[in-house]
Amino acid sequence: MSTTPATSSTSRTDQGQIGSLAGVHSDSDRELPAHPAQPVMEAKDLNVFYGDFHAVHDVNLAYGRNEITAMIGPSGCGKSTVLRCLNRMNDLVAGARVEGQVMYHEQDIYAKNVDPIAVRTHIGMVFQKPNPFPKSIYDNIAYGPRVTGMKVDNMDDLVEEALRGAALWDEVKDKLKQSAYGLSGGQQQRLCIARTIATKPDLILMDEPCSALDPIATARVEDLMLQLRNDYTIIVVTHNMQQAARVSDRTAFFTARPDETTGNRTGLLVEYDLTSNIFSNPSDKRTEDYISGRFG
């Protein structure tokens, strides 16, 4: 196996030091059960269609509390589609249809009586490209609590708390009223994370959060993810296998299978296990081929 396994010697104490750029800031001292004991979220027989196109086939996945779950796989394997189902962002895609269930604390978020807007206030999302609003840094953070009608005693405190939570406070505390567009790409992405945690979500979904960032900014975001794991459950889609190995507790490997008649590629879940197992001892040949760089 050519890929570095998630077993590294670095411990949690390293996380505070953002300077640890070596790329090994994961830990696997954590003893995790083979399956998430009390999943926060669980996809059950999830199928996604875009019009007639069957994008994702029968995905069953349970996401554990205060864990980071990585979803990896080649392009077109449906991992981002699955992620967007978890906070009903797929509703916004014309022609998208979801079958199956997504259980969130024993509530199916696709049940008829569920308000997708309310779902999104509990399940935050960070996108591939940093997408700060064309407003000040302060207003970027305050936007979420304002639009969701959150009860806030002191907005200044909330903004500071969110920025500290995203390890951005020291860099921006003197320019809160300046435009978020003046920040670097990595700072913008951490601002987007701060903006998400300001609404106090339960879960944070991250869709390739580092793919537009340089290695140093990536390392900072990864450090931040490990810190956030103490308070949040994180589900991250990534193209970067080393990233999955570094930060995640569990890894789900997806692949795309061409339909025999139409040739359309349908995504499906191949293997889901503790990250250390996936990277050191995968049980499926396709997983092994992918993480050893033989395809994808």
Please list the alpha-helical segments (H only) found in the chain: 79-85, 116-122, 137-147, 155-165, 169-172, 185-198, 215-228, 241-247, 275-280, 285-291
DSSP strands (E only) in the chain: 39-50, 53-64, 68-72, 96-104, 107-108, 123-126, 203-207, 233-237, 250-258, 265-274
Instruction: For another protein, give the closer residue by CB, 144 or 267.
Output: 144
Q: Which of residues 64-103 bind another protein (CB under 8 A)?
A: 87, 89, 92, 94
CB of 205 to another protein, least distance (A): 8
> CA 74 to CA 295: how far, in whole Å?
8
Kindly indicate which of the ranges 28-36, 153-161, 194-202, 221-229 contains the residues binding another protein, using the contact rule CB under 8 A: 194-202
Closest CA to 243 of 270, 201, 213: 213
Q: Map the footprint of another protein across residues 199-218, applying CB under 8 A.
A: 199
Q: For the beta carbon of residue 216, count every other beta carbon within 10 angstroms.
A: 12
**Residue owning tokens 């794991």:** 229
Q: Which stretch binds another protein (CB under 8 A): 41-49, 67-75, 117-125, 262-270?
A: 117-125
Q: How many residues bind to another protein according to rule CB under 8 A? A: 24
d(CA 269, CA 91): 22
Q: Report if residue 186 touches another protein, rule: CB under 8 A.
A: no
Residue 22 or 117: the one with the smaller Cβ distance to another protein is 117
**Binding status of residue 133 toward another protein by CB under 8 A:** yes
* Cα–Cα dist 3/269, whole Å: 21
Q: Tell which residue, 107, 192, 215, has the closest CA to residue 141.
A: 192
Residue of the chain from 39, 78, 124, 165 that contacts another protein (CB under 8 A): 124
**Which residue in 12, 57, 129, 175 binds another protein (CB under 8 A)?**
129
Interacting span for another protein (CB under 8 A) from 15-23, 113-121, 262-270, 279-287: 113-121
Question: Which of 118, 156, 281, 294 is in the footprint of another protein by CB under 8 A?
Answer: 118
Of 213 and 274, CB closest to another protein: 213
Tokens at residue 225, please?
Answer: 């993810």
Q: How far is the CB of 122 from another protein (least distance, A)?
A: 8
CB of 98 to another protein, least distance (A): 17
34 near another protein, judged by CB under 8 A: no
What distance in Å separates the CA atoms of residue 146 and residue 138, rounded to the nearest whole number? Answer: 12
What are 49's strand-pairing partners?
Answer: 54, 97
Q: Which of 195, 229, 265, 286 binds another protein (CB under 8 A)?
A: 195
Q: Which residues bind another protein (CB under 8 A)?
A: 87, 89, 92, 94, 117-118, 120-121, 124-125, 127, 129, 131-134, 143-144, 147-148, 192, 195-196, 199
